[in-house]
Amino acid sequence: METIKVIVAGPRGKMGSEALRMIEKTDNLELVACLDHKYEGVSIRELDELPNLDARIYTDIEVCFQDVDADVLIDLTTPEFGYLHTKTAIQYGIRPVVGTTGFTDDQLQELTDLAEEKEIGVIIAPNFALGAVLMMQFSKWAAKYFADVEIIEKHHDNKLDAPSGTAIKTAQLIQEERQVKQQGHPNEKETIPGARGADFDGMRIHSMRLPGLVAHQEVVFGSVGENLTIKHDSFHRQSFMTGVKLAVEQAVKLDTLVYGLENILE
Ligand code: NAP
């Protein structure tokens, strides 16, 4: 299998550092550079607790893409920079694999159009854990039979966006099957604003942020005399790396934007 040359944006982050460890262990992936907003010109191996990989850190994306011959950009940063990185990578013909969450619908549409125009493969997945993808698919299936549903997502307290990209994606999949319904009592009143969570097409999404959590979600369906709970837990960020690796290998074969890991699984 041909070696795929990869740039990682956000290499010191919780996800980015895990991606470096995955690349280190993967024969057909080569780390050729990293993008950060600090440590210009420093090699990854000089930073504490990062793998012993000799890849230069760039703080200017344009300089990085002009200097380095790369096939794929893995972006694990923040919504603001993730969007800019993805857009710039498409313009340079480098295929983005994006785990960063929090893009708006307009941004996703713009990136979809740009990828199509440039015929560049892009994979954006709000959750790279295989179990989470199945949890979303099972929820979509259950929504055919249960119109009442609440999503409870739980993450560590450093997360910037709420609700999580996974919760939004789950709600969108449920929406495709669910009979439209405004849930709860018609005269329901929040005595503390936000008590009932976010309203997505009449269903509610609740976001919990606590130290100690990684990424967890429960989708609870209700009907007369029964509840069905579909639950997924990522206890460690390694859980996302099988999906990231798969996405990198698939991105080089694509010429459009694919949103959601389920769309590249067989
Ligand atoms: P994190 O630990 O805060 O890592 C983000 C990293 O990006 C930090 O090292 C940060 O540096 C760096 N950064 C900030 N601005 C940057 C820039 N302009 N250029 C390059 N790097 C920059 O966060 P995380 O938990 O790893 O999560 C990263 C993203 O992945 C988030 O959007 C999160 O929601 C998402 N995520 C996705 C999945 C999935 O399966 N798709 C799973 C988990 C998380 P500083 O710390 O110095 O600011």
Q: Which atom of ligand 1 is nearest to the CA of 84?
A: 18
- Does the annotation mark 159 as catalytic? yes
CA angle 3, 99, 7 (to 5 degrees): 35
Question: In sequence order, which residues have a C-beta less than 8 Å from that of residue 180 and are 6 or more positions away?
Answer: 147, 201, 202
Given this model, what pLDDT does residue 65 score? 98
Does residue 263 surpass a pLDDT of 90?
A: yes
Q: What pLDDT score was predicted for residue 90?
A: 98
- What is the percentage of the chain residues whose pLDDT exceeds 70? 100
Give the number of the atom of ligand 1 that is nearest the alpha carbon of residue 61.
19
CA of 224 to the centre of ligand 1 (A): 42
What does the H/E/C string look like for 153-166? EEECCCCCCCCCHH
- pLDDT tens for each residue of 133-185: 999 999 999 999 999 999 999 999 999 999 999 999 999 999 999 999 999 99
Residue 87 is a catalytic residue = no
Which pLDDT score is estimated for 211? Answer: 98
Q: Over 80: is that where the pLDDT of 186 sits?
A: yes
CA–centroid distance, 91 to ligand 1, in Å, is 22
| pLDDT for position 5 | 98
Cα–Cα distance between 206 and 142 in angstroms, integer?
19
pLDDT at 174: 98
Q: Which residues line ligand 1 (CB under 6 A)?
A: 9-10, 12-16, 35-38, 76-78, 81, 99-102, 125-128, 158-159, 215, 240
Q: Give the full edge-to-edge strand order of the sheet including 148-155.
A: 198-200, 203-209, 148-155, 215-223, 226-234
Q: Given a cut of 90, is residue 1 above it in pLDDT?
A: no
Give residue 212's pLDDT. Answer: 97
For range 221-250, the mean pLDDT: 97
> From ligand 1's centre to the CA of 221, what distance in Å?
32
pLDDT, tens digit, 9 for 90 and up, residues 11-21: 999 999 999 99
d(CA 166, ligand 1 centre) in Å: 16
Q: Give the angle subtended at the CA of 138 by the CAs of 135 and 142, to the nearest 5°.
A: 135
Q: Which of 155, 169, 206, 216 is catalytic?
A: 155
Q: What DSSP string describes 38-69?
A: S-TT-BGGGSTTS-S---EEES-HHHHHHH--
Mean pLDDT of the residues in the chain: 97
Q: Which atom of ligand 1 is nearest to the CA of 159?
A: 34
Which pLDDT score is estimated for 266?
72
Q: Which atom number of ligand 1 is nearest to the Cα of residue 99?
A: 41
What is the residue with the minimal CA distance to atom 30 of ligand 1?
Answer: 100
For position 227, what pLDDT does the model report? 98
pTM: 0.91
